[in-house]
């Protein structure tokens, strides 16, 4: 469910080209690692890389949104929706990190 929610929010966040391509590449790469972590349930490395990637995308999302947030009031509704979904994804990432950390502990992480 974590992967699906973040995938959908990232797709919606990239809808109007307000954020650079690096936003999409970073988030979709981490989601691909998340799929790997789900498929290989016995791999501690996969879940560690997924957790690390999520934590790194929190930082990069803050940078992307703060730099590319529109400074004028004449923004279309579609662009407002797109940036809102990117912000919503950013707000959900700490919760996702906590859930992934619990999965890490269940798999035998320290």
* Cα atoms found within 13 Å of the Cα of residue 96, Cβ hemisphere only: 26
Inter-residue contact 43 to 37 (CB < 8 Å): yes
Q: pLDDT tens string for the chain (110 positions)?
A: 889 999 999 999 999 888 899 999 999 999 999 999 999 888 888 999 999 999 999 999 999 999 988 887 788 888 889 999 999 999 999 999 999 999 888 888 77
CA–CA separation, 36 vs 17, rounded Å?
28
Residue ranges covered by each domain of the chain: 42-110
What pLDDT sits at residue 106? Answer: 87
**pTM, to two decimals:** 0.85
What pLDDT sits at residue 97? Answer: 94
């Amino acid at each position: 469910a974590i992967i699906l929610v973040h995938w959908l929010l990232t797709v919606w966040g990239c809808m109007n080209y307000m954020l650079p391509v690096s936003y999409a590449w970073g988030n979709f790469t981490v989601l691909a690692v998340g799929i790997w972590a789900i498929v290989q349930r016995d791999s501690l490395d996969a879940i560690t890389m997924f957790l690390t990637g999520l934590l790194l995308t929190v930082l990069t999302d803050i940078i992307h949104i703060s730099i590319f947030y529109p400074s004028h009031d004449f923004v279309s509704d579609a662009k407002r929706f797109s940036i809102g979904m990117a912000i919503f994804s950013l707000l959900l990432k700490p919760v996702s990190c906590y859930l992934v950390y619990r999965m890490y502990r269940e798999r035998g992480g320290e």
